[in-house]
A and B are shown apart, each in its own frame.
Chain A
Amino acid sequence: MEHTQPKLASVEKQNLIEIQQLVKTFSNAAGEFTALRGIDLSFQEGEFVAVIGKSGSGKSTLLNMFTGIDHPTSGKVLVGGVDIYAMSESKRSLWRGRNLGIVFQFFQLLPMLNLLENVMLPMDYVGMYEVNERPKRAMELLRMVGLEEQAQKLPRAVSTGQQQSAAIARALSTDAPIIVADEPTGNLDSRSASHIIDLFTELSDRGKTIVMVTHDPSMTKRTSRTVVISDGVIVNETIAQALPLLSQSLMKELSAKVEKLHFQPGETIIRSNESVEKFFMIAKGDVDVVLHGRGKDDLVISQLGMNDFFGEMELLRGGKSIASVRAGSERPVELLALPREDFNWLMQESPLTEKAIGDIVQKRLGEKKQADRRKRNRLFGRK
């Protein structure tokens, strides 16, 4: 039996999936609807990427495009350098079986096959591995997802979490370099969901490229990258992460208003007692928030990392900067800066975000008071 290791696996840290100027328009009786509006996107080997967006944002359409499930209206999809829409539907199925493992929200195991047989099915379809090797391999995969004992059961005889684990084992059966998951945890309780994300993380660590579509922003905490899609366009990931409560359209608008700033390690971004005119979001690197003492007696009261923000306190409360902010000593920092005027507009437009930022301001003020107390104690020798 032919044992074909997909070519993709040998592509070294290159763009495994490359989407160029992708447009997808649906026509129905009500008229035309453009679900994807000229998307450029790429995924690299070993990445664990979350594609997030609200219902109807176009995330599943996007997934359908690079899994070869649906045809783009225009643009190109290259997977491992192969233009997948240059082949017939039937050939694309075979290609998909060998190169993509798909995990669905409703698991989509075939009800008439037991878990072991479900896992073996793709190997049969694409003719991978020796016939005698297939049951062993399927069993190994089921063992990996903790379903060894359930192998002979029909899907409906196991729990939903177990069904999704089996679906992941099936997605892995042909050793496809890319695993695509559409809302894989959407139908699971939090414990099962966490188990599934653990599995994805482990697979990503082993070099598989995982693209997971989800509408749940909390799922993005464990992914290496997040792609946010709104109304058919990709919005800035930092904005989406830093201000997740913004509406998709506000995120999109905000993406156009922010300015990218770069700082070298240790370089000061805000000085204390100076007026602050911008709201900053950290796109790369981290920053230290510092209270200045006498001489060398500076106190780092907090460290902020990727997708955190600062400057909000001064913009919301008025007054001068209560602490200095400088780039972390390890690596350069990339910031997205939003002028005061635009920040005020944003707070007006999104009361939820305003409240969330307000809460953070309160928290940070509390932290500062404690830090001030510690600093005074140190100064006056109190314990």
Chain B
Amino acid sequence: MRPRWRKVFSDLIDNKARTLLVVFSIAVGVFAIGVLVGAYEIISTDMSVSYAANNPSNIEIRMSDFDEEFLHTLGNVEGVEDVEGRWVFGIRVRPLGSDEWTSLNVITIDNFEENKINLLSPVSGTAAPEKNQILLQKEIFEDFDVAPGDTIEFQLSDQTVKSIVVAGIVADSSTDAIDFLAPPLGYITPKTLRLFNEPEGNFNRLYATVGEGKDDEDHIKDVLSNIKDKVEKNDYMVWRAFNSKTHEHPLESTINAVLGILFALGVLILFLSSSLIANTLSALLNQHLRHIGVMKLIGGRDKLIFRMYIVLLFAFGVLSLVIAVPLGGQGAYALSEFMGTKIGFELLGYRIVPLAFIVQILIGILVPLAAGLVPVIKGSRVTVQKALSGDLAREADEGGEKKESRLESFQIRAVSVLADRGIRISRPLLVSLRNTFRQRNRLILTLFTLLMGGATFISVFNVRVSLTEYIQVVGNYFLADVTISFEKLYRINEVQQFAMDDPRVTAVEGWAFASAEILYDDDTVADNVDILAPPAESPLVNPLLVDGRWIAPTDKRKLAISESVYDSYPDLQAGDKIPLKILGREEIWEVVGIFKFIGMEGTIAYAPYEYIAKETNVVNQSASFRIVSDSHELEVQEELAKDLDAFFRDNGFQVSETSPGLSMLNEASESIDILITFLLIMAVLTAVVGAMGLAGTMSMNVLERTREIGIMRAVGATDFEIIRMVLVEGLLIGMISFVLSILVAFPFTYLLSWIVSSATFETPIAVVFTPVGYGIWLGLVILLSVLASVIPARGAARLTIREVLAYE
């Protein structure tokens, strides 16, 4: 090896700690980008491929019970390719020996071998259950541990506990794909229905695919409209209707938005790690000034020296790639798998994503080169005299008679003014304080890194609270403590009488429903809308109005509609009229108010029960009741729901479903928490980069000040004094970054909240600030500062004076 390359090689291996610091700084950024680009590629491909592979339904209608014959007629609706009817009901399950129940929706499939829509992918065991056997969706295994052949217990709404054998585990990426708040699923054949006390020969859900235009949303909506027409003309009730494309997972845009946020954070991490690299490299070049001087003295030209250091940078990049590329690939797959499990789609298998691989290599090589270019150019152009006389960055403290800078004069004056007022800062503390501001560029880069980490961290907590708060606001639309749905209509006062028998019940309301379509002026379907019809003066809905007013008892053909109506009518205002197809008729309705809701849940509207019940001929009757109790705790609600369910069944009512009011909110909060977990992981990663930056800065500072530490030792500084000096400096940097983080967290919170809420709720939400993020970050930044300083500090204390003053 030629001597110059030997030098580059020894620069790499001689100071292992420094090499590791640089390599890890690069690796962190490359890893983050690798994970995100890889995950983006894997998820966006696999999500739609695995979704489409299972032939997902383009249309799903949740409706009142219908039979095989009616299903057959629906199959003849224009544009429909296939239809399947399924009977879906809710139970609670637990593994044998466990006390904890988990909600499960059971789907009855007529023929597992021949079904054509929403296909299941077998994971283990059989894919077609026999009588009194059940298949379980893969997701449930996060909650409990069962294998094919095991028996599980289930509880019916009348509290009966029975058991059933698990025949197999399947993945189902289609059913309920739109609704990531839905509970996991179980699958049985109609022969098993009796075990669950469920009626045979009925369906309550319709799944349909369209013959052509499987990815044409407008066409699918038209076919849906045709089906709904037919359903309603035959006196069936449509509870909810969904439409989706074949090759686009319903949550794809949400996932892409989340990945987009993560990607932005990844770029931030990369940016931060490159500032870390710039920092470390300029310190390294500084330490190498003498070497450069000697090389120039013996004939090394600028170009040669430039080349040597560029090769060194290249080597740092290659080493970091060795670490980051395999880890990034694994990380991308792990993140995709996590997302897949959470959202319910299958991955196509582990693979190297070429784009991620190329991006990582480019970043791993180019970022250190770009970050190190300025220090390298500066270093290679230094004159021999300057290089040999000492380093450039250190203050000219040996001779020269240079005046103090403005900052230094200010510092000296400030200390003297304070001293005049009796506030004396000890010299050891002064040393720490002034050391902090000595390498200003380095300080700015370090503060920037920590600041970004801190502001992101704090913002994530604020956004989390904002989301939870928003969920609470959404909860204002679901204020009932228990919701009971019946299979058929009952007189409201009859249900009230029964319910009020329970001393805990304080009020009962019967609601009506209607399903409608918002039309454009040319009569094409703009959107489906579920109209909920509570009594107009119901205290159980506390809407968050953005325009107009809430519904009134005397309203006719008037509704309050959720914000997602803006997708179809962007300029809609309260008082405007829109064409609606309702109950098979085209009518013009007035929008009296527009309110906030979760956009992803589709468009919903409220109209007064008084009007809708009349129009649907259900006056004084309802199939869905809202019950208010004296306590609004989830546990009390669960207890009451269970008791009422049993009580109504005992009295001959055909109960369809009973659910506690807060359960839906809890589920929603849980899924928000998944999103928050992602954000938090990224925030922690930025914090780690910040801490690495601080650790790097502190060790560089200590390295450059070994001589001064030697002097302090010589004039009486103990280990404690030396460690304290370094720690105080680290803490001070941490604290400055914290104060700046507080300020920067404000715009960050607004930005992040806007991105996240637009992605998840399709509407911006009110931003709430919480002290929690600030508190945790304060603790964390103190901890990180101490950790980042303690190792260099201990190293500094261990230095002997002879080493640092190097007499001979």
Contacts and interface: CB of A to CB of B under 8 A. Distances in A.
A155 interface: yes
B716 interface: yes
Nearest to A97: B716
B431 A110 contact: yes
Interface of B: 395-404, 408, 412, 415-416, 419, 424, 426-428, 430-431, 434-435, 438, 707-708, 710-721, 797, 800-802, 805, 807-808
A367 to B, nearest CB: 44
Interface stretch (A117-125, A289-297, A318-326, A344-352): A117-125
A263 B173 CA distance: 116
Given A124-B428, A182-B807, A157 B718 contact: no
Contact of A106 (B398, B431, B808): B398
Nearest to B419: A135
A47 to B, nearest CB: 22
A69 B801 contact: yes
A180 to B, nearest CB: 10
Contact of B402 (A63, A152, A157): A157
Given A152-B416, A156-B396, A156-B400, A121 B718 contact: no
8 contacts: A60-B807, A93-B719, A109-B397, A113-B427, A121-B428, A125-B718, A156-B395, A182-B807
A216 interface: no
* Residue in A70, A110, A113, A131 whose Cβ sees the most chain B Cβ within 10 Å: A110
Nearest to A173: B715
Interface in A107-148: 107-114, 117, 120-122, 124-126, 131-132, 135
Contacts of A113: 427, 430-431, 434
A104 B712 contact: no
Interface in A234-288: none
A112 B438 contact: yes
B150 to A, nearest CB: 65
B395 A64 contact: no
* Residue in A106, A114, A121, A155 whose Cβ sees the most chain B Cβ within 10 Å: A121
A69 B802 contact: yes
B718 A117 contact: no
B404 A117 contact: no
Contacts of A56: 808
Contact of B397 (A67, A90, A122, A156): A156
Contacts of A355: none
Contact of B715 (A90, A102, A155): A102
* Residue in A61, A96, A104, A125 whose Cβ sees the most chain B Cβ within 10 Å: A125
Contact of B431 (A112, A131, A135, A163): A112
A160 B399 CA distance: 5
A70 B424 contact: no
Nearest to B405: A154
Contact of B712 (A125, A156, A187): A125
A182 B710 CA distance: 15
B805 A108 contact: yes
B412 to A, nearest CB: 6
Contact of A64 (B412, B711, B802): B802
A370 interface: no
A207 to B, nearest CB: 21
B401 A158 contact: yes
A132 B714 CA distance: 24
A110 B714 CA distance: 12
Interface of A: 35, 56, 60-61, 63-64, 67, 69-70, 89-91, 93-94, 96-98, 102, 104, 106-114, 117, 120-122, 124-126, 131-132, 135, 152-160, 163, 170, 174, 182, 187
A158 B396 CA distance: 12
A60 B808 contact: yes
A69 B714 contact: yes
A160 B426 CA distance: 26
Contacts of B401: 156-159
B808 A93 contact: no
Contact of B716 (A154, A159, A174): A174
A98 B718 contact: no
A125 B713 CA distance: 9
* Residue in B403, B438, B712, B807 whose Cβ sees the most chain A Cβ within 10 Å: B807
Nearest to B425: A117
Given A90-B797, A93-B714, 10 more contacts: A60-B808, A61-B807, A64-B807, A67-B714, A89-B719, A112-B434, A122-B715, A125-B721, A126-B716, A156-B401
A94 B722 CA distance: 12
B808 A108 contact: no
Contacts of B711: 104, 108-110
B602 to A, nearest CB: 65
A189 to B, nearest CB: 11
B807 to A, nearest CB: 4
